[in-house]
């Protein structure tokens, strides 16, 4: 295998829960990310999927070095970036950029579109070198017109704002773009446009994506490989088709079976796994297998021994003592 | 999963629970008057799940609020049309009469249950309050009923949980509390405005099941407002698609997905990411963005984005026309034989 563009090894991030007014003290810890490892190869789209609170956005922010790791290492192109700061961190941003979920909150309302897209060039002293031309080029790339540069974010729809965010992320020719729920806030028709645009840009510039999403149907559309997270841990990693055809972990199987299908006939005759209860608090995750409180396969061992994420019965690793493939979404007629 | 019945002409020819006729709803804004709902009609039969689908700003939530007379004041108003609840017009009803109907005969649940619940009152108390507001009832009996409702909507240990406050519940459990409150007085119609949009997918499945279960149990009709064609497919008997304030198509659920007749409907279907069909390299997409309602396109509102647009679409407004039993579409060509999506528009 070629050298991975990014390697994450045993990432850990716990956030303190603070109490008290004058004397703030930590009374508990939220285990946001608890031992997550993965590798992303150049040019691939690696998906991280899971429900709210599973830690996927924290993974995105750790990778971008927007928050510091408690433990684990991050390597990019063979270089340890776990603790880089200051100038070295600024250099890192030339290689890694992020697209945020909320196109309303992530664009400064007082800046023109041209200033927003051009800001990375200013920061990295590249403006003098044909800045205005680069801005026009970027706007054109994402399907906006040159005259849009003079306008302000509020004059644009959600889909167009997300295009502005993408243009900004591409300004410095990054290799890796972290996409944190880039289409979740968008309407269906805008969503397809943005997904197609991301794909087109990837082909054009050989981009690598770390794609964070809660929506498995979106993940299936764009990702080459996928990690499924639950309560701060990766429970299964697989190539896209293997994941959707032969999911091994009961949580992945339940997630896939819960995705609504826009086909009334199919939707009403599917066998659905309906999970009981809610996701437990990440402040106090269940012992051993964290999924055992909601799992339909749980046995005694699941409360006692934590299942490692390893190869079990199929071609990809899953963290379950009873990993076993389940029929895909649509069973082919026997 | 609860058994779901499809469109049944015999049952549905009986008097509808609610009939909306030519509804026009407007908002005054700084930039001018926005006609958020423009001449929309539909009716919902007893026990029927009727879905209204569309994207942000299409007017679907305004339809829901208009039915209840809850348009934000003073900016919004119903500028025309009728909302007939079992034959009685609610648009012209007195505020007192509206208060009687609202919460009692017609109830509503919202996307965000946290902002719809009072954070300072125990949930059991909030449900009991519904009884006290509309019925003469002993406080103790009201409380008991509240506890029973909580268990009907699947809240474990209902007796103990009734004493908890909203913040002690998860998002999914709060939505169950909202449903319990809404069905307290056995309404004839439950309006659910994006009831699962804020929830995770595994929780969404649970809540939809609760909705279908209470519909069955209490013979309620449900007006389901959503942007999610997947959610609609699993729950609705009939579907209305809205675009830019207009009704563009209505059909029994099966027919809408199998033979969509409005290019916007099939555009939506085609651009939806799904897990049941082979992947295509790029998704079919609807170009452009929805129009501004301040200056909507003069004729067909979808014309600027329509892949099949013809000169007539830019000059004449297409009225709704019947294309099949129970199916209407607002497209000049909907009745043409063979009219429908090309294979690349909605890949099979």
Confidence tier at B4 by pLDDT (50, 70, 90) = very low
Q: How much of chain A, in percent, has pLDDT values that exceed 90?
A: 78
How close is the nearest chain A Cα to the Cα of B200, in Å? 6
Please indicate whether, in this complex, the C-beta atoms of A261 and B233 are within 8 angstroms of each other. yes
**CA distances (Å), B216 to each of A187, B5, B18, B186, B212, in order?**
31, 10, 18, 12, 6
Which residues, including other chains, have CB under 8 Å from residue B140's CB and lie 6 or more apart? none
State pLDDT tens for residues B97-131.
Answer: 999 999 899 999 988 888 889 999 999 999 999 99
Cα(B25)–Cα(B80) distance, rounded to whole angstroms?
Answer: 7
Q: Which of A188, A259, A264 has the CB atom closest to B253's CB atom?
A: A264
The residue with tokens 């039915």 is B67
In this predicted model, what pLDDT tens digit does every residue of B292-312 receive, in sequence order? 899 999 999 999 999 999 999
Q: Does A157 touch chain B (CB under 8 A)?
A: yes
pLDDT tens digits, one per residue of B193-237:
999 988 888 899 899 999 999 999 999 999 999 999 999 999 999
Q: Out of B209, B228, B234, name the one closest to residue A274 (CB).
A: B209
Residues 6+ apart with CB under 8 A from A5: A40, A41, A42, A76, A77, A175, A176, A208
Question: Is the predicted pLDDT of residue A218 greater than 90, yes or no?
Answer: yes
> Do the chains contact at A220 and B257, CB–CB below 8 Å?
no
Residues 6+ apart with CB under 8 A from B306: B263, B264, B300, B313
* pLDDT recorded at residue A83: 92
The tokens 């965010």 sit on which residue? A165
User: Given an 8 Å threshold on Cβ–Cβ distance, is B230 in contact with A272?
Assistant: no
Pairing of strands A25-40, A6-19: antiparallel
Q: Is A161 on the interface with B (CB under 8 A)?
A: no
Residue A275 banded pLDDT, cuts 50, 70, 90: confident
DSSP secondary structure letter of residue A193: H
Is B267 close to A278, i.e. CB distance below 8 A?
no
Measured CA to CA, the distance from residue A230 to residue A49 in angstroms comes to 9
Question: What percent of the residues of chain A are helix, what percent strand, and what percent coil, each to the nearest 5?
Answer: 35, 20, 45
> Is B200 in Cβ contact with A52 (below 8 Å)?
yes
Distance from the Cα of residue A70 to its chain's centroid: 20
Contact B200 A260 (CB under 8 A): no
Whether the per-residue pLDDT at A183 is higher than 90: the answer is: yes
A245 touches chain B (CB under 8 A): no
Is residue A45 within 8 A of residue A202, CB to CB? The reply is: yes
The Cα–Cα gap between A211 and B128 comes to: 46
Q: Which residues contact A2 (CB under 8 A, 6 or more apart)?
A: A41, A42
With CB atoms and an 8 Å threshold, state whether A220 touches B254.
Answer: no
Closest partner CB to A192 (pick from B201, B206, B271): B271
Q: What is the DSSP string of B92-130?
A: SS-HHHHHHHBTTTEEEE-S-HHHHS-TTS-HHHHHHHH
Q: Is the pLDDT of residue A332 over 70?
A: no
Q: For B235-274, how does the pLDDT look when each residue is reduced to its tens digit (9 = 90+)?
A: 999 999 999 999 999 999 999 999 999 999 999 999 999 9
* Nearby residues of B226 by Cβ (< 8 Å), 6 or more positions away: B51, B52, B53, B60, B194, B195, B196, B197, B232
Q: Please give the ipTM for the structure prediction.
A: 0.89
The verdict on A267 touching B (C-beta cutoff 8 Å) is yes
A132-174, pLDDT tens digit by residue?
999 999 999 999 999 999 999 999 988 999 999 999 999 999 9
Find, in chain A, the residue whose alpha carbon is nearest to that of B202: A258
Mutate to test the interface with A, among B6, B175, B226, B233 (most CBs of A within 10 A): B233
CA–CA dist B234, B61 (Å, integer): 20
Strands A208-213 and A176-180: parallel
pLDDT (mean) for A223-244? 96
Q: Which chain A residues are within 8 Å of B281, Cβ to Cβ?
A: 199
Contacts of A198 in chain B (CB under 8 A): none
Pair type for strands B238-243 and B246-252: antiparallel
- Any CB–CB contact under 8 A between A281 and chain B? no
Give the lowest-confidence range in A265-274, B68-77, B85-94: A265-274
Q: Output the pLDDT for position A312.
A: 85
Q: Kindly indicate the confidence band of residue B78, based on its pLDDT and cuts at 50, 70 and 90.
A: very high
Give me the mean pLDDT over the A27-40 stretch. Answer: 93
Give the span between the Cα atoms of B146 and B131, in whole angstroms. 9
């Amino acid at each position: 295998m070629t050298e991975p563009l990014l390697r994450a090894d045993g990432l850990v991030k716990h956030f303190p829960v603070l109490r008290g007014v004058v004397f703030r003290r930590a009374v508990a810890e939220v285990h946001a990310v608890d031992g997550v490892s993965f590798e992303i190869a150049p040019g691939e789209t690696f998906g991280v999927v899971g429900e709210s609170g599973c830690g996927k956005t924290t993974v995105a922010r750790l990778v971008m070095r927007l928050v510091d790791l408690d433990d684990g290492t991050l390597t990019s192109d063979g270089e340890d970036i776990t603790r880089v700061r200051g100038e070295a961190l600024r250099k890192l941003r030339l290689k890694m950029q992020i697209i945020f979920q909320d196109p309303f909150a992530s664009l400064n309302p007082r800046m023109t579109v041209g200033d927003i897209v051009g800001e990375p060039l200013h920061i990295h002293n590249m403006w003098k070198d044909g800045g205005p031309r680069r801005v026009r080029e970027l706007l054109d790339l994402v399907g906006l017109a040159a005259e849009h540069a003079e306008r302000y974010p509020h004059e644009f729809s959600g889909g167009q704002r997300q295009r502005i965010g993408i243009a900004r992320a591409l300004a410095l020719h990054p290799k890796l773009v972290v996409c944190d729920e880039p289409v979740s806030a968008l309407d269906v028709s805008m969503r397809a446009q943005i997904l197609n645009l991301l794909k087109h840009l990837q082909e054009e510039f050989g981009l690598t994506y770390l794609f964070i999403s809660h929506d498995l149907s979106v993940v299936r559309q764009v990702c080459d490989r996928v990690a499924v997270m639950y309560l701060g841990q990766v429970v299964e990693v697989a190539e896209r088709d293997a994941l959707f055809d032969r999911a091994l972990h009961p949580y992945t199987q339940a997630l896939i079976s819960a995705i609504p299908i826009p086909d009334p006939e199919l939707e009403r005759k599917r066998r659905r796994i309906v999970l009981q209860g809610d996701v437990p608090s990440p402040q106090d995750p269940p012992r051993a297998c964290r999924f055992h409180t909601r799992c339909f396969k749980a046995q005694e061992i699941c409360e006692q021994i934590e299942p490692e994420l390893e190869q079990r019965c199929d071609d990809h690793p899953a963290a379950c003592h009873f990993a076993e493939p389940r029929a895909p979404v649509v069973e082919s007629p026997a | 999963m609860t058994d779901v019945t499809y469109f049944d002409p015999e049952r549905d020819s009986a008097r509808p629970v609610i009939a909306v006729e030519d509804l026009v709803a407007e908002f005054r804004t700084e930039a001018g008057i926005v006609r958020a709902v423009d001449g929309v009609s539909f009716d919902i039969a007893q026990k029927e799940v009727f879905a209204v689908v569309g994207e942000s700003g299409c007017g679907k939530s305004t339809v829901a609020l208009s039915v209840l007379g809850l348009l934000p004041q003073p900016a919004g108003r119903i500028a025309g049309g009728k909302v007939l609840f079992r034959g009685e017009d609610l648009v012209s009803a007195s505020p007192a009469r509206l208060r009687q109907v609202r919460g009692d005969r017609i109830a509503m649940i919202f996307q965000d249950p946290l902002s719809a619940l009072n954070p300072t009152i125990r949930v059991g108390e909030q449900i009991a309050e519904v009884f006290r507001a509309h019925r003469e009832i002993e406080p103790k009996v009201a409380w008991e009923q509240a506890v029973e409702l909580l268990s009907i909507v699947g809240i474990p240990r209902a007796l103990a949980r009734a004493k908890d406050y909203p913040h002690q519940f998860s998002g999914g459990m709060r939505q169950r509390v909202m449903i319990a409150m809404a069905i307290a007085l056995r309404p004839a119609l439950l309006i659910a405005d994006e009831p699962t949009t804020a929830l995770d997918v595994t929780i969404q499945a649970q809540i939809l099941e609760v909705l279908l279960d209470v519909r069955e149990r209490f013979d309620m009709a449900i007006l389901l407002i959503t942007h999610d064609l997947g959610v609609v497919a699993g729950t609705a008997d009939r579907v209305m698609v809205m675009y830019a304030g207009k009704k563009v198509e209505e059909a029994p659920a099966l027919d809408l997905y199998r033979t969509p007749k409005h290019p916007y409907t099939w555009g939506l279907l085609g651009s939806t990411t799904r897990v049941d069909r082979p992947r295509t390299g790029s998704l079919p997409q609807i170009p452009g963005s929805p129009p501004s309602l301040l200056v909507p396109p003069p004729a067909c509102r979808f014309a600027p984005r329509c892949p099949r647009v013809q000169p007539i679409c830019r000059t004449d407004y297409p009225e709704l026309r019947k294309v099949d039993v129970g199916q209407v579409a607002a497209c000049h060509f909907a009745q043409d034989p063979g009219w429908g999506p090309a294979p690349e528009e909605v890949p099979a």
